[in-house]
Amino acid sequence: MAFGRDGLIQIILIGNSIVMLAPIIIMVISAFKTNAQIFQSPFSLPDFTKVGNLVRVWTETDFIRYLMNSFIVTGSSIALILVLGTMAAYALARYEFRGANLILLFFLAGLTLPLKLAVIPLFIQMRDLGLLDTRFALIFIYVATGLPTTVFILTGFIRSLPNELEDAARMDGASEARIMWAIMLPLVRPAMVIAAIQNVVPIWNDFFFPLIFIQSNDLKTLPQGLTTFMGEFGTDWGVLFSGLTLSALPVIILYIALSRQFVNGMTAGAIK
């Protein structure tokens, strides 16, 4: 009886993992095939030494440029989110001052606001600031949307840090800035990793805001560039699968290496 129950659970789990992984495996093996091989036997293993499709993606398309743009935009956004988020969270968590609760509420309110629906005023605003079709438009938007969760996570964490170190340093006459930088911030690093991961996946993957704000091919991010690229190579499925594989692989490898941190980071807002 117990075996039957566990057996059923195993069958469900194995079946599900096949459904989850098969599309990704087919994507990767198709990257090494010709059109004819993909159409006739989509599931057969290819000759993994045939990297012609991958080379074509690398050399004949703007793939590297899109990849670099994604790195620049995501990297700058995360850096700015962490700097600004830590500043606000540190002030809210370590000092008592008038209006602190109000400021925390202000950041929390930002958690619930869907910025996608404010894209029309945002568009006008970016035009007035002269930021249309620049990376700054994307970076500023990502920072604004990423700050609420970051402040939320970091404030909770910084509050839980002990007072003793800080008090001792203050006794010795260290300045507030020095206490923050040299004593407290090194302790905040684990929470910063969670906050960074929580932001990095949606920013790296975002398609909506580049679609609205970026027109130049030179500035397109990877998800946006992929749609262009799919149009250009529409009939060459080996190249298409190679493009998808090359775009997905960095994230997949990072996820497999850091799966616990990814899961914690991405569900941090949903698990109390």
Region 97-126 residues binding other proteins, contact defined as CB under 8 A: 97, 103, 106-107, 110, 112-122, 124-125
Question: Among residues 50 and 94, whose Cβ is nearest to other proteins?
Answer: 94
For position 241 contacting other proteins by CB under 8 A, the verdict is yes
Cα–Cα distance, 114 to 116 (Å, whole number): 5
Question: Among residues 49 and 176, whose Cβ is nearest to other proteins?
Answer: 176
Contact predicate 156/268, CB 8 Å: no
Cα–Cα distance, 81 to 87 (Å, whole number): 10
Question: Among residues 120 and 171, whose Cβ is nearest to other proteins?
Answer: 120
Return the closest-CA partner of residue 245 out of 13, 23, 1: 23
Return the closest-CA partner of residue 146 out of 97, 113, 170: 113
Between residue 44 and residue 83, which ones bind other proteins under the rule CB under 8 A?
none
Q: What is the dihedral of CA 64, 70, 75, 80, to 10 degrees?
A: 150
Question: Among residues 24 and 161, whose Cβ is nearest to other proteins?
Answer: 24
For position 127 contacting other proteins by CB under 8 A, the verdict is yes
For position 148 contacting other proteins by CB under 8 A, the verdict is yes
For position 9 contacting other proteins by CB under 8 A, the verdict is yes
What would the x/- binding string for other proteins be over residues 11 to 40, using CB under 8 A? -xxx-xx-xxx-xx-xx----------xx-
Number of residues that bind other proteins (CB under 8 A): 88
Cα–Cα distance, 45 to 39 (Å, whole number): 13
For position 205 contacting other proteins by CB under 8 A, the verdict is yes
Question: Among residues 17 and 217, whose Cβ is nearest to other proteins?
Answer: 17
CB of 124 to other proteins, least distance (A): 7
Question: Among residues 127 and 159, whose Cβ is nearest to other proteins?
Answer: 127
Exposure string (b/e) for 211-231, b if CB count within 10 Å is 16 or more? ebbbeeeebbbbbbbbeebee
> Based on the number of CB atoms within 10 Å of its own CB, is 83 exposed (0-12), middle (13-18) or buried (19 or more)?
exposed
